[in-house]
Structure 1
Amino acid sequence: MRLHRLSITAFGPFGTTQEVDFDALSSAGLFLLHGPTGAGKTSVLDAVCFALYGAVPGARQSPGASLRSDHAPGDLPTEVQLELTVGGRRLEVTRSPAQPRPKKRGDGFTVEKARSRLRGYDPERGWHALSTSHQEIGEELTQLIGMSRDQFCQVVLLPQGDFARFLRSDAEARGKLLGRLFDTRRFAAVEERLAELRRGAEAKV
């Protein structure tokens, strides 16, 4: 999976729209996400996770927690847009959480439902719509990435404490996850075949 561009609007500490050009950042190979506490480093990673899975890591998705920025103007909707290549496909996913918006008539606010949109790109057709279904988009991205949100947060985002917990987990749990990440099924099949030959040899002896 390769990230190309991230646009964050009224999300977390970002009251307006901020864009991250990952292609430019990674042109030298590696880049460092650096800044003082509260600068929004974790929120950038949260935005990536939200775009991919429609939720942010663990405790930050607790009941009652809002993803909307307290600094955003009332008429600016919260939205995250991520352009990426995964499984050989160029995709753009846009997500907005459930959020209050000013009523079109009268005073006060009304709650707008969460929205998701997935587009694909090919050289001949350009960008074209694929789905606006939360479930379809979630299943499609999870299948392409090959990890659930919890696995992605634990292995890719490496949030504080969670990676240490992964390292301390039992061998069976680590083995299942790493086996899925690195597709070790063929080695498991070879191991099982060798075990069968061993049992056959033992029976003959």
Structure 2
Amino acid sequence: MCVVCFVRALAHVFRAYLAAQYAYDFRGWPVAFRWDDARAGGGGRGALTCAAAAAGVWLLRGAALGEAGPGRPPRGARSQAQCLLRQIRELPGQLASYALARSLGRWLVYPGSTFLMTRALLPLLQQGQERLVARYQGRRAKLLACDGNEVDTMFMDRRRRPGSRGRRLVICCEGNAGFYEMGCLAAPLEAGYSVLGWNHPGFGGSTGAPFPQHDANAMDVVVKHKPELA
């Protein structure tokens, strides 16, 4: 009898998992907004050209290009030999840091982006989406960042509610193991604000990995999408 009950329970869980996976599959959705969309407002320091898109948004470009920082002498004050020696000395540590950050480090710092946690939370994420749509008329949309990653977002428009809070848009950024489906956006929603939730690269329906440049690129397209909603 116990074996029969176990098999039935396992079949029920398997069916629920398949249904949640089918409903949660975000890959086939069309892109609602691109990082270079003309409706983003255009111009300004944050605007990217096609040539600069692969390198990422400007806010992290300085460190990526090795520009002068605290404690480092200006580029012109260093000879080519000194630069080469410095690069050679730093190379082993950089390689070790790179390998550690993209293996064990990612699992420890961003457990929400791992395959096992995403699959384990899939039914809960689906329930969270259904709650946001049913209770707050949430609108899910796919945004395309400049690095090609797709960003999973959900917007709750509260502007038609009485009072002035609904005219203010709160963009919620979840933590290293959080998803907008079950994250911190509940607080501003209960307070009556309009809310835009999004998942970091590698979290939920968002593609990519939660590395700093990918995160910056995702934030860039999310903020550009804001004028469309506000």
What interval of TM-score do these two structures reach, taking the shorter chain for normalisation?
A: under 0.3
TM-score, normalising length: structure 2: 0.20
TM-score, normalising length: structure 1: 0.22
